[in-house]
Amino acid sequence: MTVTEEILSLKKEKDAIILAHYYVPPEVQKIADYIGDSFYLSKVAASTDAKVLVFCGVSFMGESAKILNPDKTVLMPDAEADCPMAHMADIEKIKELRSRYEDLAVVCYINSTAELKSHSDVCVTSANALKIVKALPNRHILFIPDENLGRYIASLVPEKHFIFNDGRCPVHAKVTADAVKREKEAHPEAELLVHPECVPEVLALADYIGSTSGIIQYATKSDSASFIICTEEGVLHELKEQNPTKIFYMAEDSFRCPDMKKITLEKVLAVLKDGSDPVEVDPGLADASMPPLKRMLELSK
């Protein structure tokens, strides 16, 4: 049997589903039951009947899936695959700001540790942050951990007062406006589609700003023949699947998340075979971090 055949047969035998983020390698996306952005995958994780969830992504994704499904087994093909931004906020700072602003909502990007979620009022993803922030009654918003996504949402909700955090995605934030301008000059006919984790100077050049799913949907619906893609290169797989005649240029040559690329077919097979290292979240921490996740799912309906 090939690795793929073994995965498919074990999946049935163990009543498992495979969830994959658009940033994992194409061969892993191909064997997944559900491929999507962080929001879509969290909804799938919250509603599945399967006994076992194999989460092909980084640790905050598996951790959130386990928090939403304490009784299910959640397996991560590589426990070391972690999002550096998930750790980039300080709990003491959150407490200090809460004592300063009575009416403070701590809005936590889902790319965060369970510990940070447990000190937050609501979680968001790049696909639902605008809707959720607008729906909150609070005027003061502390947005953690991504400063770039926070500043983008703040620009769309000028009636609220935002406090930003010193955190960012190292993969998206390193792309400069100069690099993007060069790509636009080389392909003036192409539309520029940008993920909101990029810096404001890059967002200012965009024809469209949105989550990975948003970018794929926009390119699919657009009449344009070519696009410059300013997010992790893993989205190219689905973009090309859905748009075989359209042309996609990357805004930067090595637009790659090293942690997402740790997920391989062999590692998916290994966790399915031996069920090793299921994701565990301390029950107290799980109880404290579930409400902001549930509130996100409620408010984004």
Among 16, 35, 58, 105, binds ligand SF4 (CB under 6 A): 58
Among 29, 38, 120, 300, binds ligand 13P (CB under 6 A): 38
Nearer to ligand SF4, 263 or 281 (CB): 263
CB of 37 to ligand 13P, least distance (A): 3
Q: What is the DSSP string of 242-286?
A: H-TTSEEEESSTT---TTGGG--HHHHHHHHHH--S-----HHHH
Give the integer Cα–Cα distance in Å for 156 and 209.
12
State the number of CA atoms in the 13 A half-sphere of 56 facing the CB.
33
Please identify, among the stretches 115-123, 169-177, 212-220, 262-270, the one whose residues bind ligand SF4 according to the rule CB under 6 A. 169-177
Helices 283-299 and 38-47: angle between axes, nearest 10 degrees? 110
Which of ligand 13P, ligand SF4, none sits in contact with 38, Cβ below 5 to 8 A by type? ligand 13P
83 binds ligand SF4, rule: CB under 6 A: yes
Q: How many residues bind ligand SF4 (CB under 6 A)?
A: 15
- And the tokens for 113? 């540790």
Nearer to ligand 13P, 39 or 255 (CB): 39
- How many Cβ atoms are within 10 Å of 79's Cβ, its own excluded? 16
Among 84, 275, 278, 291, binds ligand SF4 (CB under 6 A): 84
Give the integer Cα–Cα distance in Å for 176 and 200.
10
3-state secondary structure of 229: strand
Which of ligand SF4, ligand 13P, none sits in contact with 259, Cβ below 5 to 8 A by type? ligand SF4
Give the integer Cα–Cα distance in Å for 114 and 64.
7
CB of 82 to ligand SF4, least distance (A): 8
Among 257, 271, 286, 290, binds ligand SF4 (CB under 6 A): 257
Give the integer Cα–Cα distance in Å for 201 and 218.
21
User: For residues 48 and 16, is the Cβ–Cβ distance under 8 A?
Assistant: no
Environment class of residue 95 by beta-carbon count within 10 Å: exposed (0-12), middle (13-18) or buried (19+)?
exposed
259 binds ligand SF4, rule: CB under 6 A: yes
Which of ligand 13P, ligand SF4, none sits in contact with 300, Cβ below 5 to 8 A by type? none
Site for ligand 13P in 116-155 (CB under 6 A): 125-127
Checking phi first, is residue 160 left (phi over 0); if not, alpha (psi -120 to 50) or beta?
beta
User: For residues 248 and 226, is the Cβ–Cβ distance under 8 A?
Assistant: yes
59 binds ligand 13P, rule: CB under 6 A: no
The site for ligand 13P (CB under 6 A) is made up of 37-39, 83, 111, 125-127, 169, 197, 211-212
The site for ligand SF4 (CB under 6 A) is made up of 23, 58, 83-85, 111, 169-172, 197, 232, 257, 259-260
